[in-house]
Structure 1
Amino acid sequence: MVAIINYNAGNIRSVLYALERIGVAHELTADHAKIRAADKVIFPGVGAAASTMAHLNQTGLSEVIRSLTQPVFGVCVGMQLLCSHSEEGDVPCLGVFPERVRQFRPVTGEKVPHMGWNDVQLRPDHNWVSPEVDGSYCYYVHSYYVEAGPDTVATTTYCGTDFAAMMQRDNFYAAQFHPEKSAQVGERIIRDFLAV
């Protein structure tokens, strides 16, 4: 069973539909016991870092997420909230990844938010994503990005900045883009996560 964490975020339904297309048993839940008992956990969403962290702290979900030992997949805001700190609202986040979340500061005419298809460049030492993902295009919607660092599995570039497109540390996996909206390559990435 895959648990999708239910919290005050948008865009969660698209993840449910993606899992339905693949035929994977799943449940949208905020129940701590169900999340802890799941085989895999997906932490998706679109939203503001400060209000989302406040909700996670108030509901105890922040401690639940930090304590999980099964594979966890953070998507978009879910990836950013797994980091140490976000410039969006100047808020401490979950601290699973030590990297920080920065705001795009366009200098060459690009628009913010970064919205649309952009590439995924796998690093040579990645160990969980299919090689066919390298160089493919996935769908991004975000105004903030995670600094590339030691946990970065793949990068992309926008506003003249190379940043983390995908990350992994221990049992935590993450993508800045929306695999559930990224056609066949996105489905491949979801399947890769479900296979770890």
Structure 2
Amino acid sequence: MKSMTMVGAIRIHLLLALASLWLAADAAESTAVQHHASALRAQRARVHASSNRARSSLRKDDHDDDEDEDAEDEEEEDKEDEGEEDTSDPRRSAVVKAHTALYKNLKGRVKLGMEMRALEAEEAGQDIDAAAKAITNETQSAAIGSLVGDMWKDMRMFAEPLYKAHLKEELGTLERMHPGQQREYERAKAALPAEEPSDEAKDDA
């Protein structure tokens, strides 16, 4: 009888010890989960801040590019204005104007062609890979960097056909304008008076 009572007491002690171990493990796991959740929240905040910085950087780059293009356009217009002021002959002014329009058309077609080739190049996704790598380094999480990189690649994949169609449309417009601009330039050039031979040329003759 005593032995059965002792066995029962031992079992109760074992059950109590197991229960206390289970409660301690549960508390430790709960603490670990809380730490993990707070780490994830901090990581999410870092990713959010990083993506905000990347977005503002892209906006700044786009703004700077627009300002550079505007400055170039203003310089070209200033040169055109100077050319028109320097030439008192309206025929020379017409030649300068027609040549400038032809040059802008050619420059625009070259730029659009380069953009279309850049979209089709194998290196087209390298800028996204570099940005994803920067996010991986900043957040110290390869999974987040990979996720953001894949998301950006998907966005580009879905936007690319529309952008290509837009570029092709612009290129087609410039190509249709080119023959008329070329004819206008040739006509303006033909309207110029023939250059009179210089005194040296007369002496040689």
TM-score by length of 2: 0.19
Q: For the pair shown, which has the larger CA radius of gyration, 1 or 2?
A: 2
TM-score by length of 1: 0.19
Higher strand share: 1
